[in-house]
Structure 1
Amino acid sequence: MTNINVLDPGASPLDYYGFELRRLREAAGLTQRQLGDIINYTGSLVGQVETARKLPTPEFSERVDAALGTDGLLSRLVALVMRSQLPAWFQQVAELEARAVKIHTFHTHLVHGLLQTRAYARAVLSAMHVVDIDDRTAARLARQRIFEKSEPPVFWSVLSETVLYQEIGSRETMRGQLARLLTFETNPRVNIQVLPFSAGVHAGLQGSFDVFHFAGDPDIVYTEGYGSGHPSANPETATDCSLRYDHLQAAALSLRDSAELIRHVVEERYGEQRGADEDPVA
């Protein structure tokens, strides 16, 4: 007889998700393999999710919801599951991202996590260790689903020109990441400005920061260190950083000129190189 791992649904969001998945599947009279066949996943993967050994993805959840007629239950739960997989010190920030009506970010060396491609995020997260890299990458990308809400936040990113030249992963990774930034060019809710080298001394020299704005709550400023995050609701800090952000936006290139610079860097730095025989080379 197969040994069935009995989960404690109160142990974690992942355990609760697995418990509910098994309950719903069994109520529908389906085996793991049968459900896997319906949603185009293996029965083994269904079993791993049910026993909290595998992280469910939003796509997996949507397919199960459709197959079992759960009215979106698992799709709602997966957001909590993904958030629980983030570092403990960052989970509060993910909640701020989900609640904010407007997010202002300034980054000096990296593309913000809400704009990262899978390859770029994976390269960033594997800088020091590769343990659970697939799950950690999936958890980071799941944060981007805030842009799919009926009322997504207005997101404004000012990034240093350095970000365009800091080669993360590979040339191909950078091509894909910069191309991703350009996909937002016509999206009025996601705005990207580049702070050029020519700006010289600027209001963000102390480092990267985010400012979260809410419908009925005070603004919160977020800064980050190695293995730690620092949200602050101090009114003076919020006022200071909001003023700094105004100055950074003024010093940055316009949205149109920023997109043109990104295109130029893609072609000049990360485009296909050609050898003497004019054939592309890696």
Structure 2
Amino acid sequence: MTHINVLDPGASPLDYYGFELRRHREAAGLTQRQLGDIVNYTGSLVGQIETARKLPTPEFSERVDAALGTGGLLSRLVDLVMRSQVPAWFQQVAELQARATEIYSFDTHMVHGLLQTEAYARAVLGALDRSNLDDRTSVRIARQKIFEKDEPPVFWAVLSECALHQEMGGRETMREQLAHLLAFETNPRINVQILPYSAGAHAGLTGSFDVYRFAGDPPIIYTEGYGSAHPTANPSTVKNCSLRYDHLQASALSLRESAELIRRLMEERYGEQRDSDGDPVA
């Protein structure tokens, strides 16, 4: 007899998702393998998700919703699942990002998590720890769904030119990441400015930080340490960092000039390399 792992649906959002997936699959009279064949995933993966041993993805959830006629239930639940999997030390910040009407970020050495591609995020997260890397990457990328809300936040990123040169995951990953930044050129709610090396000494030398603003609550400043988050609504800190951000924006290139720099580096630094005969270099 096959052992059936009995989930407690109240244990966590992931357990609840698995419980509901199994309930709807069995109601449809399908085995895990049969459902997997329908949605183009393995039956083993279906089983792992049903027993809360593997995170579902938005794509998986959409396909299963369509196959089982669940009315979008799993697609709604997957957002809760992803949010619950955010590292404990970062959960409060993830909630702040989800509630903010305006987000202002300054980053010194890498692209902000809300603007990262999957490959870039994977390279960053796997620098020292590759355990559960697929799931951790999916959780980070899922946070970007805040931009799909009916009223998404206005996001303004000032990014040090250093981040464009710090090669994460190889040339192709960087090229894809820079192209992703350029994709926001026509989106007035997501703006990217580059702080060039030529700016010299600047107001952000003490490190990266975010400013979160809300419809009815005081703004919050967020800084990050190694495995620790430091949000604060202290008025003097908010005033200081807001002033710093104004100066950083003033020192940064314009949106158009920033895009030109990103585009140039994407081609010159991360473009396809060719040999003396003009053939691509492997």
**TM-score (norm. length: structure 1):** 0.97
- Is 1:24 the counterpart of 2:24? The answer is yes
- Is 1:148 the counterpart of 2:148? The answer is yes
Q: Distance in 2 between matches of 1:250 and 1:71?
A: 48
Deviation for aligned residue 1:9: 1.4
Aligned to 1:174: 174
- Is 1:246 the counterpart of 2:246? The answer is yes
Aligned to 1:94: 94
Matched residue type, 2:163:
V
- Is 1:82 the counterpart of 2:89? The answer is no
For 1:274, what is the secondary structure of its paired residue? coil
Matched residue type, 1:244:
R
Q: Distance in 1 between matches of 2:71 and 2:92?
A: 28
**Count of residue pairs the alignment pairs up:** 282
Aligned to 2:104: 104
Q: Distance in 2 between matches of 1:220 and 1:61?
A: 34
Alignment map for 1:36-47 (pairs within 5 Å): 36-47=36-47
- Is 1:183 the counterpart of 2:191? The answer is no
Aligned to 2:35: 35
**Residues 235-279 of structure 1: CA deviation (Å, up to 9, x unaligned):** 221122112111111111000000000011111111122222221
- Is 1:236 the counterpart of 2:236? The answer is yes
Tell me which moved more, 35-44 or 195-204: 35-44
**Residues 82-109 of structure 1: CA deviation (Å, up to 9, x unaligned):** 1222211011111111111111000000
Q: Distance in 2 between matches of 1:163 and 1:75?
A: 34
Q: Distance in 2 between matches of 1:213 and 1:66?
A: 37
**Residues 112-151 of structure 1: CA deviation (Å, up to 9, x unaligned):** 0111111111110111111111111111111111111111
Matched residue type, 2:137:
T
Aligned to 1:164: 164
Deviation for aligned residue 1:80: 1.6
Percent identity among equivalent residues? 79
Aligned to 1:131: 131
Q: Distance in 2 between matches of 1:62 and 1:213?
A: 32
Tell me which moved more, 17-26 or 157-166: 17-26
For 1:106, what is the secondary structure of its paired residue? strand
Over 3 Å counting, the alpha-carbon distance change for 1:69 and 1:235 in structure 2 is: farther
Q: Distance in 2 between matches of 1:240 and 1:177?
A: 31
- Is 1:271 the counterpart of 2:277? The answer is no
Alignment map for 1:108-123 (pairs within 5 Å): 108-123=108-123
Q: Distance in 2 between matches of 1:76 and 1:131?
A: 27
Aligned to 2:226: 226
Unaligned residue ranges in structure 2 (runs of 5+): none
**Residues 150-188 of structure 1: CA deviation (Å, up to 9, x unaligned):** 111111100001011111110111111101100111111
Deviation for aligned residue 1:67: 2.2
Q: Distance in 2 between matches of 1:216 and 1:70?
A: 36
Deviation for aligned residue 1:232: 0.8
Alignment map for 1:190-205 (pairs within 5 Å): 190-205=190-205
Task: Tell me which stretches of 4 or more aligned residues in structure 1 moved more than 6 Å.
Answer: none
For 1:76, what is the secondary structure of its paired residue? helix
Aligned to 1:209: 209
Tell me which moved more, 156-165 or 35-44: 35-44
Unaligned residue ranges in structure 1 (runs of 5+): none
Deviation for aligned residue 1:212: 0.8
Tell me which moved more, 28-37 or 1-10: 28-37
Superposition CA RMSD, Å = 1.2
Tell me which moved more, 76-85 or 125-134: 76-85
Q: Distance in 2 between matches of 1:90 and 1:106?
A: 18
**Residues 30-80 of structure 1: CA deviation (Å, up to 9, x unaligned):** 222222222222222111100011110011111122222222221121112
